[in-house]
Chains A and B, each alone.
Chain A
Amino acid sequence: EPEVTQTPSHQVTQMGQEVILRCVPISNHLYFYWYRQILGQKVEFLVSFYNNEISEKSEIFDDQFSVERPDGSNFTLKIRSTKLEDSAMYFCASRLSGDTQYFGPGTRLTVL
C-alpha cells in the first residue's frame, strides 16, 4: 500500500541554523501539507500546497518557513534560521482529491 515517507526521523540542530525536512508524498496525490506538533500540544496546520504553489498558510508559517516541490516527488519544508520554539514533530500529508489526508510518520526536530 502506498504511503507517505519522511526523512530524517529525527533532526538535531543548533539555534540559527537552516534545516530542510523532506517528504515523499503518495505518487499520484495532488495536495500536500505540513503540520507540526509541539510536545504535549495540538497538531497544527502550517501550509498547504497545490499546483506548485502555496494554497493556504497559517499564522505560524512566517517568512522563516518555505516549501518546495523540487522534482515532482519530494516535498520539502525549510526553516531558514531555527529557533528553540521550532522544536516539534513535523508531519507531512498528501491527498488526491477527496477529503482524506494521508500522513507520514513525522520528523522530530530538536533545536538546541
Chain B
Amino acid sequence: GNSVTQMEGPVTLSEEAFLTINCTYTATGYPSLFWYVQYPGEGLQLLLKATKADDKGSNKGFEATYRKETTSFHLEKGSVQVSDSAVYFCALSDNGGGGADGLTFGKGTHLIIQP
C-alpha cells in the first residue's frame, strides 16, 4: 500500500536558518505529492504540490522537488522566520486527483523557530 515517511520532530531552528524536512514515499502508481502546513489552532493548509517527476512546487519561500528516482519530496526554505513555526505534513494522492481517493499523510513534523 501507499505510505509516507517524514522526519520526526520537533525541529528547532534559529531565525534565518536553512530548513530541510525530509519526506519519502511508497506508492503503487504515479502519485501527486503535497506539503500541508498546520498553524496552531487552524486546519491543514496546502503549502505546495507537485504532480509529476522533476516538478518543483514552491510557495512562500518554501520549495520541494518531486524526485522519482529517490521517491522523495523534501521541503526546503533558505531562511526561516518565527512565523513559519507550525506542523508540516507530507502527503500523496495516488490517482492525481482524478477520482475521490483520500490523501496518505506522514506523521507531521513540528517546526519551532526561535528568534
Contact = CB atoms under 8 A, between A and B. Distances in A.
Interface residues on B, range: 20 to 34
B104 A91 contact: no
A55 interface: yes
Contacts, number: 64
Contact of B101 (A49, A56, A104, A105): A56
A31 interface: yes
A45 B97 CA distance: 15
Contact of B106 (A42, A50, A56): A42
B96 to A, nearest CB: 6
- Report the contact-size class of chain A (Cβ under 8 Å from the partner): 20 to 34
Given A100-B49, A106-B43, A56 B105 contact: no
Nearest to B104: A45
A75 interface: no
B46 interface: yes
A35 B96 CA distance: 19
A99 B45 contact: no
The SS class assigned to the A binding surface is strand
A11 interface: no
A95 interface: yes
A99 B100 contact: no
A83 B43 CA distance: 25
Interface of B: 32, 34, 36, 41-46, 49, 51, 89, 91, 93, 96-97, 99-108
Interface of A: 4, 6, 31, 33, 35, 41-50, 55-56, 58, 91, 93, 95, 97-106
17 contacts: A33-B102, A41-B107, A42-B108, A43-B89, A45-B102, A45-B104, A47-B102, A48-B102, A56-B99, A56-B102, A91-B43, A99-B49, A100-B34, A100-B46, A101-B103, A103-B44, A105-B43
Given A31-B100, A46-B102, A105-B41, 11 more contacts: A42-B105, A42-B106, A43-B89, A43-B103, A43-B108, A44-B105, A45-B103, A91-B44, A97-B97, A99-B97, A102-B46
